[in-house]
Structures are given as structure tokens and as C-alpha cells.
Structure 1
Amino acid sequence: MNFYSQLEAIVTTDTIEHKESLLAEAMMYCNTEEVTPEAGFVPRSFETPSYARRCRIVAPKDLPRRRKFATTEGLALQVHAIAHIEYSAVDLAVDAVYRFAQMPREYKRDWLEVAQEEIRHFRMLESILKTLGHRYGDFPVHRGLFDAAKHTQRDVLERMAVIPRHYEATGLDVNPRIVEKLAPLKRKPEVAALLEALEVIYEEEIDHVRKGDRWFRYVCRERGLDPERTFFEILARHRLAGRRPALNIQARREAGFACSELLSLGAQECDE
């Protein structure tokens, strides 16, 4: 197997079944063989996301508003939005292996495992969408995560800071708020299924952020950098700095955030 060609194929195909089968092969290979790139290997800079052939991409301000969870259409919009995040996360996890070939083998296994879990998340949500009479691609999407990956494609330290430690950690903040809004409708089978999926996603996303935290700190140690100072410098460089409302302190602490970081992000209190 040409491991890196396989990864490129996963990132570029728009068929989740194809991603899944190629990913299983890549994971098996990574578990049994050395995964060093061929001489002269240079990762591609992808210009369009794989879902561009399936979804209409619009600016975030042009996305339909997601408020009426009690209606079939409103619920489908919410499920589609979360499914899009999970689909995007598959490509980002694989790209983190493809693009940063110098990282250790354990790093590669970690992110291939994340990609497999993101595919499972997407499939759960896709199934719910189908019960609501829709499929992935029926609603417009934005390419925010894809653009964030492009902006961090030159440096694994920036990738780990921006994608898992910022965007995925923000997902840990948002998940309980969505659950709270859906809870009054939990007698509906589709809502009950969505709540179950969100619980699985929440628990596994804590581990994804933890993996990002681990490798962020690993690279900081390799470069002799202070992790906290470096994290906030990267956020500022990517215009992501600022205090954040409703931080999920418990989940972020489980994922590796220090109390000093959370207080700087806007937490009112944090117990060591």
C-alpha cells in the first residue's frame, strides 16, 4: 500500500462508504507496517472540500436559521448541521495524518481512530436524517472547518491548537445546550434518537480534544515552548482570541485544559 496516496484518496472522495473502507485498510496498515512517506513526498494543498460535489456551500451568514426543533424541517436542519460537522471532521482527522508525516506512529493511529469514530457519528446522524425524509446535501453548508484546516496546513502545532483545542472544544461547550433545547421533545422517536447520538458524540469528542491536547503539548515540549502562552498566541494569530460564554469546564478539564487557560478563556471559577 502507498499509505499517503491512500490517505489522499480518503480526504478527496465524497462517498462516506468509500472513506470508511479505505480508512479501515489504512488503519490496518498503520498498525502493522512502518508508515514513512516515499522520497520527495509533498502533501497536496486541497482547494475544495470533498463534500463540495454533494452540498451547496454558502457563507455562514446565508445558512438557514435553526430554531424550530418542533417541526420536521427544523429538526432536519439541526441534524444536517451536526452531520456536516462530523463529515468535515473525518477529512480533518485524516488530513492531520497525511499532512504531518514527521509525527510519531502513535499520533497517526490516534487520528485515524478519530476519523473512524467521526464516520460512525456521521452514520448515526445520517440515519436520523433519513427518517426525517432528508439526506446529507439537502441543505446548504459552510466550509469553515475546511478553511481552518487550510490556514493551519503548514504547522502541526497550529493544527492541534486550532482544530481540536479550539473548534472541537467549542463543540463540547455547545453540545449540552442543544441537548437542553431538545429535551422537551424527547418523546418524539427522531428526537430521542438524536439525543442518544449526541450523548455518544459528546463522550467521544472529549477524547478527541484530549488527543489534540496531548499532541499539542508534545510538540510544545519538542520545541521548548510554553503550552499556555503558545496556545493563546496561536488563537490571536488566527483571530480566534476572546472570552467565551458558557464554557463546559468539566468536559474541557477532562480533555486536558488547565484551569489557568479556562480562566483566561472566560471561566468564572475552576477547581484544580
Structure 2
Amino acid sequence: MNSLAAAIRAALLTADPRAKCFAARDVARRWRLGKLGFVFDTAMPDEPARPDRPELLPPRDMPKRGKFGSPRGQIALWHSLAHIEFVAIDLALDMAGRFGEQMGEQFVSDFLWVAADEAMHFALLARKLESMGSHYGALPAHGGLWQAAHETRHDVAARLAIVPMVLEARGLDVTPATRDRVRGAGDEHGARILERILDDEIRHVAFGSKHFMQVARSRAANPQDLWKCLVREHFRGGLKPPFNDSARLAAGLSREFYEGVAS
């Protein structure tokens, strides 16, 4: 039986976007079917493999998207969303592969489910771009999205606090407004894609919250206090309102977490 760690590492080191999507979903499927052993015999890479395109730029060097109603602005929006979901595949895979032995089989199952979801989201967005006459890689992309994973590679609590409970939770805040703008522009197909992503991301943040609570209990720490400490230590950007309180609460993030650290 193949080892789980080796399968996850192979998916992380797959550069081609379509192949990475297939690899992530295949790892999740084989794990679910009992075809991968709970064996961690190889380390996760410091960086996942990336395709030659898109060009990755520092946030300050990213070109402006242009007006939303313009074809250029719409393509830039969907390209940005596709890149976020592409990096999210690797974030979920690395979570399962780096911390799975420490956290257990349910943790692995949860984050491989997330990886498969993110692969599906990316595929939907890549097809959306192609329907508009573009493709993933046609524009530059944000080069700093992996930084949070790299900086929290030493501590599962820090990784859970920053990736699902800050970065993915931010998606819960901004996606409804983006969906409404897309729908208001007459793009019902795009709005449905965003609704699907929003529904799935609530579950993803809930996985992060659930396992963070378990880690906090194991450390005899107050979950809200531990989270705030880790956010202040590892997250450089401020938490900016408005917050989607109902979606955050559904994902296990009460206002007690982010009150006092929001800018």
C-alpha cells in the first residue's frame, strides 16, 4: 500500500494546473477508499511546484484590474479568483501532509476533502476564464499567498489560525458582495459558481475552527486568546471589517475571536 505522505508530496510537486487538480482529487479519493496507508515516511516540500505562468508578483507590483464592467476587468477578477483557488489546493494538501501524523486520520480526511473542493473550484474558474476567451496564466498573479503557509510550517495551531481562520474566513466576508456584483452585471452562471464556492468555504473554515479548538484544549489554552496571540504574531495585515458574521458563526468563528484584533 502506498504511503499517504508520498502521495501528497507528489501532488504538491505537480506543476501543471490541470494535473494538480487531478492529483489532489485522486489523493483524496484513494485515501477515502483505504488505498493509502497512514504513513508519513517523506517530508513535505518547502514550496509546491508552480507552472511557468502566471508570473508571480509582489502585491505592490500587481497591475490594477480595471473597471469591473469592462471585459478586461471581468477577466482580471476571474483570474484572481482562479489563482486563489489554485494556491488553496496546495495549502490544503500541505496541511494534511505536514500535520496529519500529529493530528490524526480525521484531520487528514477533512483537509483532503478541502483539497478536492479547491481543485473543483479551480476547474470551474479555469473553465469560466476559457469561456471568456482567456486562460489561467494569461495575467500576473499575487506571489505572496504561499507565504502564510511557509511562515507557519512549524506549528499546526498557527497554520490553522492563519490559513482557514483568517485567509479563508476573509472569503466569507467578500464573496457575497462579489457574487452580487456579478449577478447584477447579468452573469448568473458566474454568480452560481461563487455561491458554490461560498457554501464550501464555510465548511472549510469550520474544519479549521474545529481542529484549532482541539489543539487549544490540548494546550489548556483559551481558544480565543490563543487565536488572537497567533494572529498578532503571524498575520501582518489587519483584519478589516465588514465581517459576514452569520457565515463566520456557521463556521465556528464567533465575534469573540475577531473583536479586539480587527482594524
Q: Do they fold alike, i.e. is TM over 0.5?
A: yes
Read off the aligned partner of 1:89 and give its amino acid letter: A
Q: Residues 76 and 242 from structure 1, CA distance in 2 versus in 1: closer, same or farther, beyond 3 angstroms?
A: closer
Percent pairwise identity: 30
Q: CA deviation at 1:256?
A: 0.3
Read off the aligned partner of 1:137 and give its amino acid letter: G
- The answer to whether the aligner puts 1:105 opposite 2:105 as a matched pair is yes
The TM-score with structure 1 as length reference comes to: 0.89
Cα deviation 1:89-126 (Å, max 9, x = unaligned): 00100000111132110100111111111111111111
2:40 corresponds to: 37
Q: Describe how 1:1-272 pairs up with structure 2 within 5 A.
A: 1-31=2-32, 32=34, 34-38=37-41, 41-46=42-47, 49-100=48-99, 101-186=101-186, 191-240=187-236, 242-266=238-262
The runs of 4+ residues in structure 1 deviating greater than 6 Å are none
Q: CA deviation at 1:260?
A: 1.8
The TM-score with structure 2 as length reference comes to: 0.92
RMSD over aligned Cα atoms: 1.9
Moved more, 67-76 or 117-126: 67-76
**3-state DSSP class of the match of 1:264?**
coil
Structure 1 CA distance for aligned equivalents of residues 15 and 45 of structure 2: 17
Aligned residues of 1:83 and 1:136 also touching (Cα < 8 A): yes
Aligned residues of 2:17 and 2:51 also touching (Cα < 8 A): no
Aligned residues of 1:43 and 1:98 also touching (Cα < 8 A): yes
Structure 1 CA distance for aligned equivalents of residues 3 and 61 of structure 2: 40
Aligned residues of 1:96 and 1:111 also touching (Cα < 8 A): yes
Structure 2 CA distance for aligned equivalents of residues 184 and 16 of structure 1: 30
Read off the aligned partner of 2:18 and give its amino acid letter: E
Cα deviation 1:31-60 (Å, max 9, x = unaligned): 32541223xx443322xx433522101111
Read off the aligned partner of 1:37 and give its amino acid letter: F
Read off the aligned partner of 1:209 and give its amino acid letter: V
1:270 corresponds to: none
Q: CA deviation at 1:87?
A: 0.4
Aligned residues of 1:235 and 1:241 also touching (Cα < 8 A): no
Structure 1 CA distance for aligned equivalents of residues 66 and 223 of structure 2: 38
Structure 1 CA distance for aligned equivalents of residues 98 and 91 of structure 2: 10
Moved more, 1-10 or 150-159: 1-10
Q: Residues 241 and 14 from structure 1, CA distance in 2 versus in 1: closer, same or farther, beyond 3 angstroms?
A: closer
Q: CA deviation at 1:5?
A: 1.7
Read off the aligned partner of 1:65 and give its amino acid letter: K
Read off the aligned partner of 1:148 and give its amino acid letter: A
Cα deviation 1:187-224 (Å, max 9, x = unaligned): xxxx3221110000001100000000011111111121
Unaligned 5+ runs, structure 2: none
Q: Residues 85 and 212 from structure 1, CA distance in 2 versus in 1: closer, same or farther, beyond 3 angstroms?
A: same
Structure 1 CA distance for aligned equivalents of residues 238 and 130 of structure 2: 38
Q: CA deviation at 1:243?
A: 4.9
